[in-house]
Structure 1
């Protein structure tokens, strides 16, 4: 008996020792079973790792809750290291997170479940674990890891985690808002680790830190449990830090901070302390981080606090967020030369900018010569004078910073020929700056009467909106309780039989068009609900080979979760043998191609601008707002469809290659339409999201002559690095910001 007890005790000790020494990817046990769930305000709001260091679940932020992972140091002090769907609105206290066979599924009130984990098609989840490493993993029935948070970093990597080639970290907005912020750390495919402002084109001029390892083949950024941060190329390493040995229990993490600094931290769990071991870049002056202040503003620092000040003649884009940048407080008209004394140059001392001159720098003898030369140049918006050199600039100016050796001249407009605007100064600026103001005098009586009328109108509208949404909310609650099929139809793609769709489109009689992937037919669904018939468009995929089949399955999982007002919505699908059909909402006003060539009139200027903005928003959604990023690869007027309200929507997305979060390029065969293909296809260069930016630039016709031609030229640059992101395109089209004159599209080739 004693020997048996000794044997059991030996096995127990041996098993414990083995589990402690196991690889971090393997948990001590799978502690989360299928159908386990979490709720924000219950005792089961999170799942803990076996050692209790990490928690996965709901954490409070803003007006609600987010799903994430945090380091549990004490009940009062926790550090968020990962957030799911960080740019979505917070969820309410009624939310439920459940582990289903499809993965982690989030259920919100009055809506169907939404997956926050992307598991491969044909694979079922069986269990999950919050590991001691800070990694949350999902297993199949054989305990193989089929999804893990380490593959989808936000602003942090933990010890044992890898930031792969083409991946990036994006800073948070603030310490209390973990949505995407202003800075990114990119592990580039050329082996260089670089820090950029998010809104920049990621050119060398935009970086404010680089490891200098481009061309050496490094494929990943790694952090080990001793605090060593290094780049790896097969077995060759490049150390960014040395290891930090200590006898205490430490947890290491590397986080891109809200200020754009990438920091390596250690957490002492015995003493409950945190220490910064290394900073990239290692600077004490916060303005050294490019992008700290937005365009047309310059950065100064007082007692370690950043102050962002506007150029003379400019106001903040958002008065509540001075760091977002500035724009002109007047609208220039025509040429900006000094004809009839209509313009003048305002002086801003001791500020320099990163932007490169659009013309060859001039050699001058004084700052007055620089000012005069800039005043006479119609294309010049500003000039930098330094060491008897005059560099002409166009707006927007970027990365303004104190420099005692540089003088900036800004071209401003007089309100009337021969007269200058009134001069004021920004109280928060250390430099006096002239501002153009327009004063309008209203009598007191008119102001009071106007205010009263406006107040009545606002009150009436507020009451109307309140009762309308109260009625809608009650109606939705009734629909949910009754489980009306219409609600399901409005949320998720519906599976159809081939027989149903053949009847709906009347035996493939009415053809709407033919594209690269198949033919589209018009049909009608006869619903049993009171709304009656519904017109649909059915696309029959005709190239059903292995590759097409894989794309079809991917589209079902990806497009089914992709909803945006500028994307054609997928209503359902059919997958029976070789019959594969997609059911879309019907777009009654045809394509943009048909609209452009209409004989009975073309869209007006305002309409063209609106359509261009619709397209830009749709592409931006595909590139940056989807769970799985999508490269369309065939943006053209034929794939831009118009609905009943003449809203432009993008069709045929998801049928080309999908860009996973851990990838930035694909080398597949050429896809797209001649005339809209990016130069990368012919150079055998990587195809990235900016391929769609190029195609967008091609379909931009002249709308506002100056603005959209500039946007189009920027989008159609031969080199991808010079093209803006679709986020920047939306900003240029949507906001009243000045757009600099780009070089010709073939200039950089």
Structure 2
């Protein structure tokens, strides 16, 4: 018997160290003592986990994600639902050969080369055992059964029934369903509330949830889920008191998790044998209210056909690996302070920061949970606040209150605003314009840099170092004065022969790129392809040296006023960035000629598509054009630092890309107006057929003049015809128009007014649509158009209100009969 003791003792030790080596079936033990080692291969061979809670509710084992290469994690699992509730090595998945080892110093994971992957922190006393409790808590205890470490103190993305979650802790989402590594969404409990956040931007709070109940404003100590709800407590232990709670149905097992998609879920199971979890709570309840659900600058919207949310990009943006980025290759999004120092230096040296207005019709969820950085300030103050902060990637500005909401470090998704939502703020995105100096610029600078050292060497030999300093200082002063005078001359609309030469070779900060006349001549093939003309100039198609297609406008020499219009256009459009406004790429000054270089829109103008002999423009495309044009005018009227009145809205000035993206063009007739005190214009400009009555009465021009012209364009989009055929040719005051295919002298606005009173809207539709549009859709556009045509400017809606009506945020206006009777007698006379 004595001879058997050593063998028995050895066998017992082997069983403790390698429990699976003696059994083909899983060995369910709820405690393990030190000097234990196993790996995933051993567990696979023995069909089970190496540690189980007493009632087999939870297991500790390896979890293998079936990707290539496989990701293997050491985790605690709820057996019946196969839910992973805690993971040790979520940052570093391992291979099948990695070992889990328990020693008196703690629990550790090492890879096949014995390199440490994960371990428990230093402990206060030697470990006696590793336990898996029936709550799912993995615990290390000493010889007195005192807890040394527990997994509940280190939650990953999940908490379960009975787990106390202290204030100051966060649950961090996994990267994906098969990648457990920490991502960017978090559920954070602070001393006041429970909040969902993305890079620190809050997008849900428990206290604002309609299903939660708040009992006290005292500080929060911890959160806990029990059988019937989620509770926030103050105090600790027996001295705790309820701060707030979120009621749930009664269940045996409840699990709360922040998913990899950024949504907080609470699910439950009423039976230990039930393999399915019942979802009790999903927050945010709406898909689009998750901060980055569609990626950076992605647009989350609801597909009306099947009511499914989907992600797309705003106009002017395209899909990329992280979200959406500008289509325009000459601009890019900044990296912010998060970028490397070399990236920031490169950005600063090679680009100029400006702001792109995204228009309206959408919201940014973080604004609902943040206080504005400034209140009661002008747009320029908000822009300066963002410009002075490298972490600021853009801002939202609310005109009604002057509130400024900067977005720092990370810009998430925007979402489609609901019909009951209040008026959203305007969004401005910081963009970097890549500088592209003309060839002459680099040469001039190089020559100056190389010239002075040679002179310096001569002066060293003649007069010493002091003379060099004096000469250098004088040269710098001369260059500074020369550049300042050029800027002043340009800003005031003055130049002479010397400044003209300078403009041809020098890129002036804050203004578009300048081009040499030779570049313009070559790009247009000696002005061989004319694509448009007007009172202020002729437009040619061109191809620049980098193969970029452009539209080059040659400004006619109209004396002093012509120069003023040129510089007005140059200064205004060069500083404007909006997805629905044509982009000015550069300019050229050559003797008495001036040229503007614009981005090229390959579908041409709305006039060509709407009134031409090509394929019919479908109704959905017409609505897209209407909305894009309205957004452009809204930006001109209320989105710029100074109000801009276009003064010549007509189909010829609405340009379209291949995808029918709208770009409003031709600001040669624009005038700047102060936001608060709109100055009045009294000079007749624009195009017959679109002129508001106030042009004729000389009662002063305001932004409501553009609203009238927009209403006229709306009616042409509805009918697909010129409003008045008799004016289809040579009707511009300072502008020429294309011919119309229309026959007959009908003045369509008067007809639309009559049909509105009789509610016969379907008869107004373009017959080429052949019934592919409903009367309700026609009614919406016609009613908006007639509201825009009210004879009294004050009765017309603002362009912002027009956008709101088009997008369904406010009811469609009711045209006022007495304010439209002039159409019946006025006919085509004034227009």
Q: One fold, TM greater than 0.5?
A: no
Normalising by the residue count of structure 1, what TM-score does the alignment of the two structures yield? 0.43
- TM-score relative to the length of structure 2: 0.39
Higher relative contact order (CA 8 A, sep 6+): 1
Instruction: Say which one has the larger Rg.
Output: 2
